[in-house]
Amino acid sequence: MYRVRVRSVPPVVLALRRFPNPRLTGIGAGLFAALTMFVLACVDRLLFDSSELVYGLLFLPVSALTALWVRPADLVTAPISVPIAFAVGVFPISGGSEGLGGQIMGLVTALAVHAGWLYGGTLIAGLIASVRKVRQMRARRRYVLAQGRGGAPASEPAPRAAAASAAAAAAAKPVRAGAGGAGAVARRPQRP
């Protein structure tokens, strides 16, 4: 008789499973991050008088969520879209003077002053995306190895085994005299 051993799942994992788990495309993740940071910057301007600390602290979880919610095929876009979202969101709290030139100078100054938060959020998004990519590659490798055990020898992946067997079958065919080999060129009939 076999006993099935059931692992108990920690309550923290159960709580995290209840949260939404959307899979956004690269553009969707960028739009999510940019719109969220813009709204949070507007709220920061209204409630906290454009506090850099509040904006930076809110940027870190948005960066993490962007990297967690992007679909596996678009993982590379998370660390790219997060700094763009930071720049979009910092515009309402940049505090530039009147005119287009003053607004641009305020934005550039705010980006330079908040570079630590920008690098921190980008680092978080990059780390999460890298860990997810490594886990995805390991899962794919296990899948390929499991598929390889069923049909082909474990030392050879399935496509190579199929190609090797096809080449062996072609080499074993008898060749008629005058038909030429695999490299024979078709000749055109000559005119008398």
124-149: pLDDT as tens digits: 999 999 999 999 999 999 988 888 87
Instruction: Detail the DSSP E strand segments found in the chain.
Output: none
102-104-107 Cα angle (round to 5): 110
Residue 30: half-sphere exposure toward Cβ, Cα within 13 Å: 14
- The 10 Å Cβ neighbour count of residue 38 is 16
Give me the mean pLDDT over the 57-82 stretch: 91
DSSP 8-class letter at 24: B
Q: Residue 191, SS3? A: coil
Longest dimension (CA), the chain: 98
Specify whether the backbone of 178 is left (phi greater than 0), alpha (psi in -120 to 50) or beta: left
2-59: pLDDT as tens digits: 666 667 777 877 776 777 777 888 899 999 999 999 999 999 888 888 788 888 899 9
Q: CA–CA separation, 88 vs 112, rounded Å? A: 14
pLDDT band for 154, please (50, 70, 90 cuts).
Answer: very low
Burial class (CB in 10 A: 0-12, 13-18, 19+), 184: exposed
Threshold 0.85, pTM exceeds: no
Among 60-74, 82-96, 168-182, the least confident range: 168-182
Cross-strand partners of 24: 70
Token pair 């709204």 is at which residue? 39
pLDDT at residue 10, rounded to an integer: 79
Helix (H) or strand (E) holding 61: helix 52-69
Q: CA–CA separation, 168 vs 111, rounded Å? A: 64
